[in-house]
Structure 1
């Protein structure tokens, strides 16, 4: 405790910390700076001098606003021509918001998910968000579904900005890493498909609270995120294994306890008032078949041609849960065998990416879950650019594939099923490669772009400075010599 206090006092005496800029620390990005004079010079001191009007935060805000406008532009063909027929597939502008507004009863009753016998297939907090937004839609004769879409898109833009700023504040000496989130093509194209950005922003806020040592606040935000979408819950696995390694169990107990308590406070009233409606989300999730772009969907495409046996939904659920459990065990072993305490973001990325890979559903918008975690776990522009190119190709290929099922389509002019299958494998292989790269940074900290600039773990929170209490010593190698670059 005394050493920690002394280090804080020393930091205050040093003043502003010199930050790392992408053009100087990322060789791939530096190649593209020649037209503006090349990378930032060695004698400059970003973070220690006044940048004037264009601070990092303001530039990131501008980038996110531009990204939001591009997101609106991507959906504009459907805003102009409507979401009827094959328009969402032909114009690549599909969204769940418009069809759900009519099909799930929001047009007649804004709080339809909370009525007896409701069949809204989303978690409670997401149902509440959808209901509140639909209640704000004015009672006009036409265009209500378009207003519903525009209101949701505006909220998603705000949530995107919150996520960017939270990511920036978690990056320590590398605030520009939040630019991965601000200009991500994956968010531009898929952020307005569903309400996933609510969970993304809540998790980002929870991770920021955790990074600053506020375990209770982190637990509350993670609990709210889990009530919106299940995936924020999985970050508790990363906190659990770090608690096991460091012996700081109070950090995990507080965070997990308040996350569970918050989730229960949100869900229990609804579960008690409408038990059948509450249970519908869970029954729907277990009984639904393989989702588009998942490995299981491609498997069952093969079954259609009698290449492999068909897998029923319940079989896929069991296999998915089993494989995810094995992945989590693998991440735990990695974390306990690593030569240095792994970073929170690295473990969180591996766990959530594993869930996406083996889950029965791999919706296009799931990429927005991973982009902020990638910015924290593996902030490298070369890998990010390749990933986004693959995901953009998959995005357009998916809608072209779905559009080929229209009755008025010429089968000789439609997107081939084989092309769709290859794109699904491509985006899964690319994600697997990113997971491999993150594993390499855990096993060899000298390959970690965050640690080589002189940081330990900006998101460590209560684990910062902790000594190892339990590791798999037999599997550990010799810790590499630390080096720092400016």
Structure 2
């Protein structure tokens, strides 16, 4: 059935899973259905995101009540978060600048192992945390061994407030991201519900600060859809200053610009991205170049770590991978994967959409990376929602991610250890399930690129596949 040009594609008439579920509440949207004056698609998805984020806070209640002090309960209840530990472990309880090169400070605290924008955010959240408490006198803390700070009543209370301050800020970013995603494809605002109603979002939102780069990626996707390459480059550069993966959008943009001969757009996006990244990194480099380099050296020296295929092979076959070996082969395999995405993008029947190619590149990186922390699922959420807006595929993929999320905490808590004391094979199974879920998602996106009529975004109801640019 054809639709009016400005009418939204409604999920009960577009998505088989949603259509089947709607039978319990009266069936798909009817031809004569009216619109609610208040509950627009944007407001509905924002409300969904608010509820899901609130459920995520509830899920962290056990850890919040004991200030993340119980080493067993944080894994048993799957409510672990890096935030309170980094508040005391990286000097934020003393409002130490993350890139201060003072020798005494560096002897006292480890350097932040994250890119600069996350470090800036964490420092700003620490300032806000202490401002809400009236900026306490820090003299006692300076005289207390760093390892004992978390035991001080005032610091313990602050660590909880620090999590709350971050929760408010990250929730605001998430709502902005969901709103932007709802506007990428004007006829498909409901696709943003795949992020807003995500169980992975509820479970992993406060594990670390990965919602920050996720929001910047959502903004970059929106800016590109509106034909603003400079703004896209700005947001990509800012995203790359928070995590490496937003920089992966430049590869798909290269493919799109090559096929459409958009040389000016390619130059503007790339130049602004590099400039934005450099400007944001400058304060860290100028205040402590050695501390700034720590993120890069830390990752280069890291061996096979949590959640990766490298860890699975290392433990199962007792290989003992050296960091240099993993570095070499992970980048070689990732390079080959990117070459495959490049060929796919250049030879596809129609120009692939930005979200499709970016999703494939990011999945390739996550498959070969040396570590897979459970919150990395957030990297894929906005890309997957736009690349493959089908609930069936998201249920398959996110089901694998939720299974991995549970198993990683049980593994760290020692609950999966067999009686003989050997490595936990059930955790290896969880890694394999997570990898298969991501490969499933990549597979259906590749199929949509090769056969554009299978792409839900191009194959609008009642119309042939769209041949115009939807990147």
Instruction: Verify same fold: TM over 0.5.
Output: yes
**Partner residue, 2:146:** none
Shift in Å at residue 416 of structure 1? 7.6
Partners in 2 of 1:241 and 1:183 — Cα distance? 31
**Partner residue, 1:469:** none
Shift in Å at residue 415 of structure 1? 12
- Decide which moves more: 102-111 or 423-432: 102-111
Partners in 2 of 1:390 and 1:15 — Cα distance? 38
Shift in Å at residue 370 of structure 1? 0.4
Q: Which digits, 9 at most, give the CA deviation of each residue in 1:166-218, with x for residues without a partner?
A: 11000221110100000101111111111111101111112211111111111
**Match for 2:266 among 252, 255, 258?**
252
Shift in Å at residue 343 of structure 1? 1.0
**Are 1:364 and 2:374 matched, yes or no?**
yes
**Match for 2:210 among 185, 196, 199?**
196
Maintained 8 Å contact 1:29/1:382: no
Q: Please list, as runs of the form range in 1=range in 2, the aligned pairs for 1:443-462 lying within 5 A after superposition.
A: 443-453=450-460, 455-456=466-467, 460=471
**Partner residue, 1:33:** 22
- Unaligned runs of at least 5 residues, structure 2: 137-153
Cα gap change, 1:29/1:15 in structure 2, threshold over 3 Å: closer, same or farther?
Answer: closer
- Decide which moves more: 326-335 or 25-34: 25-34
Maintained 8 Å contact 1:111/1:132: no
Cα gap change, 1:457/1:80 in structure 2, threshold over 3 Å: closer, same or farther?
Answer: farther
**Partner residue, 1:233:** 247
**Partner residue, 1:92:** 78
Q: Please list, as runs of the form range in 1=range in 2, the aligned pairs for 1:318-357 lying within 5 A after superposition.
A: 318-357=328-367
Q: Please list, as runs of the form range in 1=range in 2, the aligned pairs for 1:176-215 lying within 5 A after superposition.
A: 176-215=190-229
Partners in 2 of 1:384 and 1:410 — Cα distance? 31
Question: SS where residue 79 of structure 2 aligns?
Answer: coil
Output the TM-score relative to the length of structure 2.
0.88
**Match for 2:89 among 87, 103, 108?**
103
**Partner residue, 2:8:** 19
Q: Please list, as runs of the form range in 1=range in 2, the aligned pairs for 1:239-318 lying within 5 A after superposition.
A: 239-304=253-318, 309-318=319-328
Q: Please list, as runs of the form range in 1=range in 2, the aligned pairs for 1:132-151 lying within 5 A after superposition.
A: 132-138=124-130, 139=135, 141=154, 142-151=156-165
Runs of 4+ in 1 over 4 A off after TM superposition: 409-416, 454-459
- Decide which moves more: 102-111 or 358-367: 102-111
**Partner residue, 1:7:** none
Maintained 8 Å contact 2:99/2:292: no
Q: Which digits, 9 at most, give the CA deviation of each residue in 1:432-456, with x for residues without a partner?
A: 1110110000000010000001545
Query: How many correspondences in the alignment?
Result: 436
Maintained 8 Å contact 1:23/1:29: yes
Question: SS where residue 137 of structure 1 aligns?
Answer: helix
**Partner residue, 2:139:** none
- Unaligned runs of at least 5 residues, structure 1: 1-13, 461-486
- Decide which moves more: 449-458 or 319-328: 449-458
Q: CA RMSD in A?
A: 2.1
Maintained 8 Å contact 2:367/2:435: yes
**Partner residue, 1:60:** 45
Partners in 1 of 2:49 and 2:335 — Cα distance? 36
Shift in Å at residue 288 of structure 1? 1.1
Partners in 2 of 1:446 and 1:435 — Cα distance? 17
Maintained 8 Å contact 1:236/1:256: yes
Question: SS where residue 136 of structure 1 aligns?
Answer: helix
Shift in Å at residue 34 of structure 1? 1.3
Cα gap change, 1:291/1:263 in structure 2, threshold over 3 Å: closer, same or farther?
Answer: same
Question: SS where residue 159 of structure 1 aligns?
Answer: helix
Question: SS where residue 24 of structure 2 aligns?
Answer: helix
**Match for 1:74 among 44, 52, 59?**
59
**Are 1:121 and 2:113 matched, yes or no?**
yes
Shift in Å at residue 411 of structure 1? 5.7
Partners in 2 of 1:326 and 1:33 — Cα distance? 43
**Partner residue, 1:223:** 237
Output the TM-score relative to the length of structure 1.
0.86
Shift in Å at residue 128 of structure 1? 0.5
